[in-house]
Amino acid sequence: MKLQRNGRTKALAIGAVALVSSLSLAACGSDNNTTASSSTSGGSSASAAAISCASKQAPFLGAGSTAQTDAIDVWKTAYGDACSGSTLNYNGVGSGAGVQQFNQGKIAFAGSDAALKPADVASSKAVCPGGQGIDLPMVGGLVSIIYNVQGVSNLVLDAPTIAKIFNSEITNWNDPAIKALNPTATLPDLPIQAFHRSDDSGTTQNLTAYLAAASNNTWTYPVSKTWAGKGGQSASGSAGVSSQVKATAGSIGYAELSFAQSNNLNSALISTGASQPVAATAANAATTIATAKFVGTGNDLALSLDYATKTDNAYPIVLVTYEIVCDKGNQAATLDTVKSFLTYTISDAGQAAIGNKGFVPLPKVVTDKVKAVIPTIA
């Protein structure tokens, strides 16, 4: 369902534009006593970040979303350099496995590209004494439709066509439906090799949410972390899908923009009904994320995204990755460190640091809410 714009969404849009326009914001001040200056690394000059270490430092574990792996790598490097007693070990096993490990009490936080379902929240109460798991938006991004077709660099696709490709209803690159969207392209007479995720994935959930909302009922499967389309080949994680697409002529898949960029893969433009097909860029994803509405209750900050947007320059296949923690009943040994780490990641400097890696800095209205919740975690 298309979301209505109101004062909140306009404020989100302003915040998104401001953050995407400037990726060198200074970190906010903190009341914590231990502060260290650090810089992120990763092939390009990074933003300096003032990080307030926990008074009680401890190594800690996280697991889940592969979509946010590159962002976590930036953050854990900066945070570990500043706070040597707080090493983070994050395992990108997919959102479904991350939530499962969190609800088994194995990790301090989970990363998920989809908000907790009611059943997940119910299960979390066993490991959150006196509380429950909550969703904290932390990483904005987009799902790129990546492809490897020689001689085609500006491929345009729409939701019905993407749905048919990934359901083995369109099986050749010179299919009339693809030709109609790309009248000037030289499309080869070549079989399509479609790759999807083998693991339960929030990336899959966001893609299927887009297909369900925008494909005019062409995609008939439920929105789910588990792939349901017919045929195709599977690979584990966004890294696995990207690697297979890069290695396979005539292939197509889906992964976050950061994986498309790191693998030098082309990303399809999406025809949404806007005046022009929309490119897979952070700025265009920010336009869509800016219309998100908060749908969680209490300190749960789950968001609803408008996948069926037809706004100019609004890329529709977006995602927000959440960090999942207990609102009460977190592991005492790592509580202070987790709060300190999350305070850094949601800071202006933390968001700016991942903006250089293909992610979308979250709008101020979102970050302000997260900043308000983190100190209340117990």
26 lies in which domain range? 7-140+298-304+323-376
Q: Are residues 148 and 131 in the same domain?
A: no
The reply to whether 94 and 132 lie within a common domain is yes
**What CATH number did the domain enclosing 220 receive?**
3.40.190.10
Task: Please state, in angstroms and rounded to a whole number, the distance separating the CA atoms of residues 90 and 110.
Answer: 9
Are 171 and 161 in contact by the 8 Å Cβ rule? The answer is no
- One domain, residues 151 and 115: no
- Residue 51 pLDDT level (bands cut at 50, 70, 90): very high
**Domain-embedded: residue 113:** yes
- Specify if 371 maps to a domain: yes
pLDDT at 34: 40
pLDDT of res. 1: 36
Q: Average pLDDT over the chain, rounded to whole? A: 88
In a domain, 292, yes or no: no
| Rounded mean pLDDT, 183-205 | 95
Q: What is the pLDDT of residue 31?
A: 31
| 129 lies in the same domain as 155 | no
Q: Residue type at 121?
A: V
The number of domains in the chain is 2
Whether residues 94 and 185 fall in one domain: no
Contacts for 321 with CB less than 8 Å, ≥ 6 apart: 65, 67, 68, 71, 111, 112, 113, 137, 138, 139, 140, 141, 202
pTM for the whole thing? Answer: 0.77
Distance CA(82)–CA(101), nearest Å, equals: 28
Asked if residue 174 and residue 109 are part of one domain, the reply reads no
pLDDT in tens, 132-173: 999 999 999 999 999 999 999 999 999 999 999 999 999 999
Q: Does 338 reside within a domain? A: yes
Question: Does 16 map to a domain?
Answer: yes
Asked if the structure places residue 316 within a domain, the reply is: no
The answer to whether 81 and 46 have CB atoms below 8 angstroms apart is no
Share of the chain above pLDDT 70, in %: 87
Predicted pLDDT of residue 17 = 40
